[in-house]
Structure 1
Amino acid sequence: MKLKPRDADRALSQPDGSYRIYLIYGPDLGMVRERADTLSKALVKDPDDPFAVTRLTDDDVKADPAALADALAALSMTGDPRLVRVRLSGDSAPVARLLTEVDDGLTPSEATLVIESGDLRKTSKLRKAAEDGKRSLAAPCYADNARDLIGLAEEMFRAENLSLDPDARAMLAPFLEGDRALARSEIEKLILYKGLAAQRGGDAAQITRQDIADISAVGSEAAMDQILDPALGGDVRAADAAYARGLSAGLNPVGVLRGLQRRIDQFDTFHTGGGDAGALARAGAPRFGPPADQFKRSARLWTGRRLDQARKYAFDAERAVKRSGAPAEALVGDLILRLSRAAANARR
């Protein structure tokens, strides 16, 4: 079945159980990831449980053609629902054939299958198999317009008892340009800049044009790049020194964490988009000169499972910042060391 874009959020956040295969695809890779995560949370108790969720990539499917079928056929050890998540860079004839076989009952499936992919044409074998299947659902993800992005921002602001100054609305829309994940990252940076509701004692606050200008200041971005570039490029000493300088200059460690998460998402968008100049633009990365060269060098170090591991490191650090009593400075510093060491190993 083919979903209309406007119905995707509702259908994926509240799946009715009649579908065993979900294809979530489109040019907005941040939205693809977000909707796949939302669906996963609705389908299994713990989407991070390796016994409940099997994750495969393009490389896994190409290296072992039977890997996906084996993952789908595996029985649950606990009796709870199982999920198989596959992240593809584009169309895949082998996966499309498997979808048809599962839909026709020719290939056994004990798990629900969630496929993430980039933009797919109407003639795509994968898209056609999902749209034509009786037990499969295809959900397109197209870029949000300015109204959607402002609506997303205001929803997140309200959750922290923040409001948006009317004069700041027009300034905020271009500030959020990019895919859904990048927009959400920028919104979270604004929220952190103003302080969480709990940090403000529940008091209401308003986001102004000056707040947006402060967050997007060139100096702040340059200081952040001095940390992110060596951290994700494999220069352990430079990353550690730049982080120490940033803290001394008043840089928020949670802001550094968000910066690392955003850069990891940009790498993913760049790779999934084909790794060309157009992919740089879609990722919101520098497109010219030394900054673009630096981005591409670092991106080459973070692919496949290594990129997934980087995202898990960042997620674990974020969870620790929110739940533990340890200082954010130390937790983010440890994350920087782990990432920079992993990148250094990838360079060897």
Structure 2
Amino acid sequence: MKASAREADARVKNPDPSIRAYLIYGPDRGLTHERAQTLVRAILEDPDDPFALTQLTEEDLKSDPAGLADAMAALSLTGGKRLVRVRLTGETGSGPIIEIIKGLESGSETAEAVLLVESGDLTPRGKLRKAFEPAKKAITIACYADTSHSLESLCESMLKVEGLQLAREARTEWLPRLEGDRALARGEIEKLILYKGLRSQRAEGDDTITREDVEAVAADQGEAQLDAVLAPTLLGLLAKADSAYHRSITAGGSAVGILRALQRRLDQLGAVHAAGGNEGAMARSGAPRYGPQADAFKRQLSLWRGRRLEHARQLAFDAERAVKRSGAPAEALVGDLLLRLARGAAQMGR
């Protein structure tokens, strides 16, 4: 089956029990990741239960092609539903996935788990879409860049939680800047909410976001400061990364903001790899195209790919979860994450 754009979000929020395999793909890796996360939370009672969720990469499929079938057949040790999540950059390593889909359709595969495949953009002629789309027990969900209407809905729903609304001139000025990547858009909306203040922090009646507020936290104002932290981290320059992070925090920067920026950068690297890793892919992802920043991005691209990139994404996700759930200060948790990634990049670059 193939989900329409209109029903895509409903499909992941309220999954059909008859669907045993999902292919969530598209050039907007932020939206792809968001919908995959929504599906995981909708299927599993505890998404953090390692006995309920098995995560694999294309490197895992290539090194152990039978591992996917074993994971799909395994029973949950704690009872309840199980899900196997596979993250790909494209068609590479998709052979075992296609065999699972064939088995589900023929009835020869008695899978205990639901299969979730998350990938970059795929062509209609590709093997994965050809396997999923005709299948009755599988579904594809495409993730393309948000329209102005869907961005407006996302923005309004997030602001509504904190009792905020956009003034008309702010709406006209700001929404076009968010187009292109769901993760970037969500991060910018969160940044604006933090700037304006949570419901419990604001003065009574201060619930309208003006154009002046938007200009104060515009995405391009501070990207250079964030890149001063991210670039040395992802290039393995430990001393520079540590120094830049502490300078940013001392100057009033947000550890959570840096973590969000790191997640966006990792997603951006993944999107470029998925689109071919060439100059055109970099341009479409919004990566810098000229000068020292472009050179640094290309070096990051060469270091972070495949399994290494997926591991970095998982570490960033774990850090975000720890920030939300633990009593430890965000500054310490994010600082530790940055040093771990910098050490890893330094080892890869030797």
Compute the TM-score of the two structures, normalised by the length of structure 2: 0.92
> How many Å apart are 1:235 and its aligned residue?
0.9
Match of 1:10 in 2: 10
User: Quick check: 1:23–1:116 contact (8 Å CA) kept in 2?
Assistant: yes
Aligned length: 348
Shift in alpha-carbon separation, 1:328–1:191, aligned structure 2, 3 A: same
Q: Show the 5 A alignment for 1:1-348.
A: 1-91=1-91, 92-200=94-202, 204-216=206-218, 220-348=222-350
Which consecutive aligned stretches of 4+ in structure 1 deviate over 6 angstroms post-superposition? none
Letter in 2 for 1:225: D
Letter in 2 for 1:71: A
Matched residues in 1 for 2:299 and 2:82: separation? 37
Matched residues in 2 for 1:157 and 1:17: separation? 33
**2:116 counterpart SS class:** strand
> How many Å apart are 1:89 and its aligned residue?
2.3
Structure 1 portions without partners, runs of 5+: none
Does 45-54 or 33-42 show the bigger shift? Answer: 45-54
Letter in 2 for 1:48: D
**2:158 counterpart SS class:** helix
Shift in alpha-carbon separation, 1:184–1:30, aligned structure 2, 3 A: same
> How many Å apart are 1:243 and its aligned residue?
1.6
Matched residues in 1 for 2:340 and 2:281: separation? 27
Matched residues in 2 for 1:340 and 1:187: separation? 28
> How many Å apart are 1:168 and its aligned residue?
0.8
Matched residues in 2 for 1:77 and 1:89: separation? 30
Matched residues in 2 for 1:35 and 1:219: separation? 29
> How many Å apart are 1:259 and its aligned residue?
1.5
Matched residues in 1 for 2:119 and 2:210: separation? 37
**1:56 counterpart SS class:** strand
RMSD of aligned Cα (Å):
2.1
The one-character-per-residue Cα deviations of 1:239-287 (angstroms, maximum 9, x if unpaired) are 1111222223222222222222221221222222221122213332212
Compute the TM-score of the two structures, normalised by the length of structure 1: 0.92
Matched residues in 1 for 2:259 and 2:89: separation? 26
Letter in 2 for 1:206: T
User: Quick check: 1:270–1:283 contact (8 Å CA) kept in 2?
Assistant: yes
